[in-house]
Amino acid sequence: MNHDTPKTSLPSLPHTGEDRLREALRHARPEAMLTGLAALSLHRFASAPPVGMIDRVDVLVPRTRRVRSTGRVRVVRAAEPPQPLEVDGLPVAPVPRALADAVSALHDAGVVRRLLTEAVSGGHCEPGVVVRELNRARLLTRAHVVDAVDSLLAEGRSIAEDRLYAMVREFGLPDPLWNVDLRLPGGPHLGGVDAYWPDQAVAVELDTRAPRQDDDALWTEYTRKREHLERLGITVVHLTPRGLREAMDQQATVVRTALMAAADRQPPAYVVVLPR
């Protein structure tokens, strides 16, 4: 005799937005959460359609749950579902996971680009977290997603640079030389840095790497450049976009400490500073 629990089909949903969401969750409980475009709409994404205009509601459930997609509900499975957030009294997937689930069903490059860009420009999450979720979902093999990710990373770097400028201004740090290349006189190129204080030989570099397939090689290049500069007596401070967003005062203290410690170090090698 077969004692397996029968698979449950989800019925078509009511037409009102909130009722549709609650009905979808009720049939997939106890561990279900909204994801995809419905979740992004609840997270107040301007580039996501209102809930009432979404054709299919995505519901994220553990892989072992025996519930099937049907009608206007798409069941998305996860081996290890994230911890849901409560938004408007509903369990909702965090933005990075909701984005990945939305993108998996989208083929319009413009829509994908707008959603990813808003995730960063709206302060919902950092680019690296988004790219990690897209990579986990094996979406970085799609050309239109890769193009959107390139735009996302550019947007993330621009925002991080703006925060770096704000940090220097708001915390009264000396004005550095911005976005410069360093090289030895008549010698090799040492690399570019985001800010440089020549009198103190202190450089700041924004770590805006994203977890992609070439991440190890890129980190090796970061490390090689840092070690080379430090052998020449230049202190390199790595700051992250997340650190600048969540703890700008702490990042300012790190930079200030490096600047103040310059008087106790051996004089650095002379380097040529060029605009980047």
Domain segments of the chain as ranges = 8-156, 161-275
CATH 3.40.960.10 is the classification of domain 161-275: yes
pLDDT in tens, the chain (276 residues): 444 434 444 444 445 566 777 776 665 566 789 999 999 999 999 999 998 888 889 999 988 877 787 778 888 999 889 999 999 889 999 999 999 999 999 999 999 999 999 998 888 988 888 999 999 999 999 999 999 998 888 888 888 999 999 999 999 999 999 999 999 998 788 989 999 999 999 999 998 765 554 455 555 677 888 888 999 999 999 998 888 988 999 999 999 999 999 988 888 889 999 998
Q: What share of the chain is helix, strand, coil (3-state, %, to 5)?
A: 45, 20, 35
Q: Is the pTM of this model over 0.85?
A: no
Q: What is the spatial distance between Cα 276 and Cα 273, in angstroms, rounded to a whole number?
A: 9
What CA–CA distances, in Å, run from 12 to 46, 182, 266? 26, 62, 73
The 10s digit of each residue's pLDDT in 24-70 is: 666 556 678 999 999 999 999 999 999 888 888 999 998 887 778 77
- Find the angle CA(267)-CA(274)-CA(251) to the nearest 5 degrees: 65
If one counts every other C-beta atom within 10 angstroms of the C-beta of residue 274, the result is 12
